């Protein structure tokens, strides 16, 4: 799913970005752990290992969650450049479908860049908001692409 080209002037305060729905499967987490070089079984892939760590079940690695949240912006607009992503993990992210979305909270020109600041979050039906934070993306200006 690739979005349309957005420019700085196309975005207004309060605009929503997304939602992006992701089905986090056991297989996807195991594949991520393999690429990441994290030996299995571990708390990300094994129910028994997760229980040892006092987790509700296998969880999604933080860096995988961050990558999924970054995809919101790259799928929204191919000319958006993610400059900053600051997240707070309120609950473990388990292997369940999630929804990732953002709301535009600020716009500014800074050092020749056109920046859009957003509140971003990841949630699921069972637990509500799992991760929240702030993202800053850069968009080209239509007059100066």
Quick: pLDDT tens for 46-103.
999 999 999 989 999 999 999 999 999 989 999 999 999 999 999 999 999 999 999 9
Domain presence at residue 36: no
Domain presence at residue 71: yes
Domain containing residue 130: CATH number: 3.10.129.10
pLDDT band at 2 (very low <50, low <70, confident <90, very high): low
Interior/surface letters 92-114, b for 16+ CB within 10 angstroms, e for the rest: bbbbbebbbbbebeebeeeeeeb
Residue 1 predicted with pLDDT over 60: no
Domain presence at residue 124: yes
| Global pTM value | 0.90
pLDDT band at 143 (very low <50, low <70, confident <90, very high): confident
Residues of the domain holding 81:
12-25+60-138
């Amino acid at each position: 799913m690739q979005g349309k080209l957005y420019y700085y002037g196309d975005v207004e305060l309060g605009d929503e970005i997304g939602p992006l729905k992701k089905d986090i499967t056991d297989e996807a987490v195991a594949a991520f752990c393999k690429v990441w070089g994290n030996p299995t079984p571990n708390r990300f892939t094994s129910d028994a290992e997760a229980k040892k760590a006092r987790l509700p079940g296998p969880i999604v690695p933080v860096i995988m969650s961050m990558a999924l949240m970054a995809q919101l912006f790259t799928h929204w607009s191919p000319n958006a450049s993610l400059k900053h992503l600051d997240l707070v993990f309120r609950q473990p992210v388990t292997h369940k479908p999630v929804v990732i979305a953002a709301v535009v909270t600020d716009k500014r020109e800074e050092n020749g860049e056109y920046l859009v600041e957003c509140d971003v979050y990841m949630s699921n039906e069972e637990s509500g908001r799992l991760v929240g934070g702030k993202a800053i993306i850069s968009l080209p200006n239509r007059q100066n692409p």
